[in-house]
Amino acid sequence: MTIADLRRENLILFEAISGSRAYGTSLPHSDTDLKGVFILPEARFYGLDYIPQVANDTNDEVFYELRRFVELLLKNNPTVLELLDTPADCVVYKHPLFEQFKAVDFLSKICRQSFAEYAVAQIRKAKGLNKKINHPEPPARKSVLDFCYVTVGAGAQPVATWLARHGYTAGQCGLANVPHLSDLYALFVDDTLERRCGYRGLVRDPDTSQEVVLSAVPKGEEPVAYLSFNRTGYSVYCRAFREYWEWVETRNAERYQNTVQHGKNYDAKNMLHVFRLLQMAEEIAKEGRLNVRRPNREFLLQIRRGEFEYEELVAEAEKWVVRVETTFAASQLPDAPDKAAAENLLIKLRKQFYAHTDTTELTR
């Protein structure tokens, strides 16, 4: 089932322009996102082909089936709650039956989690992005040997430094486990011309090996030093390297260029949503209502233009988190939406839709 099918079969209950155009923070080049609610045909609903949502290929047009929509409302999901307070100039279509849904009937203290904690996740995301931008990973991947150190007196040297200072090559070396000590190896060197000890070196392949390699050591050979492989450091580095280059490959090019252009090295759109969510959360706790169209458009656009320092925004956002926590603690909102009332509304509306015979009154 596609969005075109929903339109053709008159299954849409609500359709609206969402995102920055609804918030009042759009710019001339901003995308137009569509969100909505539909109802499955009766036979399909009772059959085995329940469809919770339908979206286009780019996921900027998303429609939720009525049951899924109510499920998300009960979780105080910001995206679906915002649909119930869509500004009039962003409502594309509203079925008469959809008038029965009111945001105030679903607002609860769960919004502290769904709005504020999501904002906190966005702060963490912004911090991670800031780190990626300011500390890019070189394209050449480090090897296991970059995380190996050789004992020198009471200290240690990187293995490459140690080899160079002694005039050895990695191929001359052999490693053997030191009993009871993880990732510490006795280091042997074969300095004979014929390489009679037959050591296998430190790694099989410096470019691809994930481990050091062990060698059989002839009886009577003495280690010249001990080598430690920082396995944890290597694992952390590999994960960071992989995540960085996956981010480079999949990042939104336009948003990244905007980040580079404003020179503050953070995703300004991401930080805009941090403050929008926190402010909306406080309003919900204080006023018991949802305000989608933001009254402080200029401040939010200043964030988007990169007019604030990254550290300043993070510090201010963290203060807002504390404010929101305090406000919700004193709020008169219910702990959760009334599930029974929501279920009754869902059943009632679905029955009304399926039972209505004069469909011309309830379609566009």
pLDDT digits (tens, 9 = 90+) for 341-363: 999 999 999 999 998 744 444 44
Residues 5 and 100 in one domain: yes
Residue pLDDT, tens place only, 55-90: 998 888 999 999 999 999 999 999 999 999 999 999
pLDDT interval class at 141 (50, 70, 90): confident
pLDDT interval class at 130 (50, 70, 90): low
Q: What angle do CA 207, 210, 216 make, to 5 degrees?
A: 100
Q: Is the pLDDT of residue 128 over 60?
A: no
Residues 159 and 12 in one domain: no
Using DSSP's 3-state secondary structure scheme, residue 357 falls into coil
Using DSSP's 3-state secondary structure scheme, residue 328 falls into helix
Lowest mean pLDDT, pick from 94-103, 129-138, 155-164, 169-178: 129-138
User: What pLDDT shows up at residue 86?
Assistant: 96
310 vs 214 pLDDT, higher one: 214
Residues 223 and 153 in one domain: yes
Average pLDDT, the chain: 88
Q: Burial letters for 185-197: b for 16+ Cβ neighbours within 10 Å, e otherwise?
A: bbbbbbeeeeeeb
Q: What CATH number does the domain containing 5 carry?
A: 3.30.460
Residues 215 and 122 in one domain: no
Domain that holds residue 291: 107-136+252-333
Residue type, position 154, single letter = A
Residues 154 and 193 in one domain: yes
What's the mean pLDDT in 213-237? 95
User: What pLDDT shows up at residue 359?
Assistant: 44
Beta partners for 188? 174
Residues 291 and 210 in one domain: no
Q: Give me the half-sphere count of Cα atoms (radius 13 Å) on the Cβ side of residue 292.
A: 23
Asked whether residue 227 is assigned to any structural domain, the reply reads yes
Asked whether residue 321 is assigned to any structural domain, the reply reads yes
Asked whether residue 247 is assigned to any structural domain, the reply reads no
Quick check: 310 and 264 in contact, CB under 8 A? yes
The whole-angstrom separation of Cα 121 and Cα 44 is 37
User: What pLDDT shows up at residue 356?
Assistant: 79
Residues 119 and 177 in one domain: no
pLDDT interval class at 123 (50, 70, 90): confident
Residues 193 and 322 in one domain: no
127 vs 16 pLDDT, higher one: 16
Residues 129 and 262 in one domain: yes
Residues 6+ apart with CB under 8 A from 108: 76, 333, 334, 335, 336, 337
Asked whether residue 244 is assigned to any structural domain, the reply reads no
Please report which residue ranges of the chain form alpha helices under DSSP H: 3-8, 20-23, 42-46, 66-74, 78-83, 111, 118-134, 159-166, 231-250, 253-262, 268-287, 297-304, 310-329, 339-355
Quick check: 185 and 227 in contact, CB under 8 A? yes
Sheet holding 61-65, edge to edge: 53-55, 61-65, 33-38, 12-18, 91-94
Residues 16 and 100 in one domain: yes
What's the mean pLDDT in 201-214? 92
CA Rg value for the chain: 30
Residue 243's CB is within 10 A of a number of other CB atoms, namely 13
Asked whether residue 32 is assigned to any structural domain, the reply reads yes
User: What pLDDT shows up at residue 362?
Assistant: 44
Residues 117 and 100 in one domain: no
Residue pLDDT, tens place only, 166-200: 999 999 999 999 999 999 999 999 988 888 899 99
| pTM for this entry | 0.65
Domain ends where: 173, 207, 235? 235
Residues 151 and 228 in one domain: yes
The whole-angstrom separation of Cα 126 and Cα 265 is 10
Residue pLDDT, tens place only, 45-55: 988 889 999 99
Q: Is the pLDDT of residue 232 over 80?
A: yes
88 vs 249 pLDDT, higher one: 88
State how many domains the chain has: 3
Quick check: 188 and 171 in contact, CB under 8 A? no
